[in-house]
Amino acid sequence: MKVFLWLMLSTLLIAAPLTQADISNLKTRKVKEHIIYETYLETDKGLASVFGYQFDTFFNEHQCFILAISGAVNGERGGYGFAAFGLGQEIPIHPKLALNFRLFMGSGGGGGLDAGGGFMLEGHMGLIYYLTPNMGLEINTGSLTYPTGTFGTPMVNIGIQFTDRQIFLPWESNS
């Protein structure tokens, strides 16, 4: 119990307050959250769909690092899911429209699909329509494959996305 109390207290007392130098080094970056409904067009038991969440951290205004997670919600493949990371590129073509290119690699399987060892590759391209500067709708099409298994399918997805800016302190400012 005493150890637990000391650990709790340590979380209050040991943190370093921001210095003036830290405050002057604070930066912002664009982040985006996606809620995606994705349908696989070819499985051995007909259509299957997954529901997922993706989080983008932007290096600049148009290129990002992606974290993605999805799980089966429709079809005969309950228990199937994947977690992946990847890179994304947006190309604005109009103030309210942008092309969307995304590549993922990750781990997936379950639900009886032949996903081999689980290594997953997915790519998709599509269109984003910005309803407001912070909110958009997207539709994409692409392909999903498991190189160490036999499962692979074309897919389509639709989603809603929310854009925000996040404050962060670069680690380099420590040195």
Partner 1 sequence: MKSPIISILCIVLYYTITAYPNALTSFEKHRKIITTEFKSYHISNTETIQLYGAKQRKFLTKHTYSAEAVYGALFGERSGYLEGGIFIGQFMRGPLDTIVDLRVFTGAGGGGSAPQGGGFIIHPTLGFGKKISSTTFIMTEIGYMQFINGNISSMSIGISINFNSWRLLERKI
Q: Residue 14 and residue 12: Cα distance in Å, rounded?
A: 6
Name the minimum Å distance from CB 29 to partner 1. 12
Taking the least distance from each CB to partner 1, the nearer of 37 and 119 is 119
- Binding site residues, partner 1, CB under 8 A: 1, 5, 7-18, 22, 67, 79-83, 85, 106-111, 113-119, 146, 148-149, 167-172, 174-175
Taking the least distance from each CB to partner 1, the nearer of 117 and 154 is 117
Name the minimum Å distance from CB 169 to partner 1. 4
Name the minimum Å distance from CB 62 to partner 1. 22
Phi/psi of residue 148, each to 5°? -95, 5
Taking the least distance from each CB to partner 1, the nearer of 94 and 172 is 172
Name the minimum Å distance from CB 138 to partner 1. 24
Taking the least distance from each CB to partner 1, the nearer of 92 and 114 is 114
Q: Residue 31 and residue 112: Cα distance in Å, rounded?
A: 35
Q: Residue 82 and residue 107: Cα distance in Å, rounded?
A: 6
* 140, 102 Cβ separation under 8 angstroms: yes
Name the minimum Å distance from CB 86 to partner 1. 12
* 74, 47 Cβ separation under 8 angstroms: yes
Read off the tokens for 124.
Answer: 């998709």
Taking the least distance from each CB to partner 1, the nearer of 130 and 146 is 146
Name which of 78, 85, 84, 143 is nearest 113 in CA terms. 78
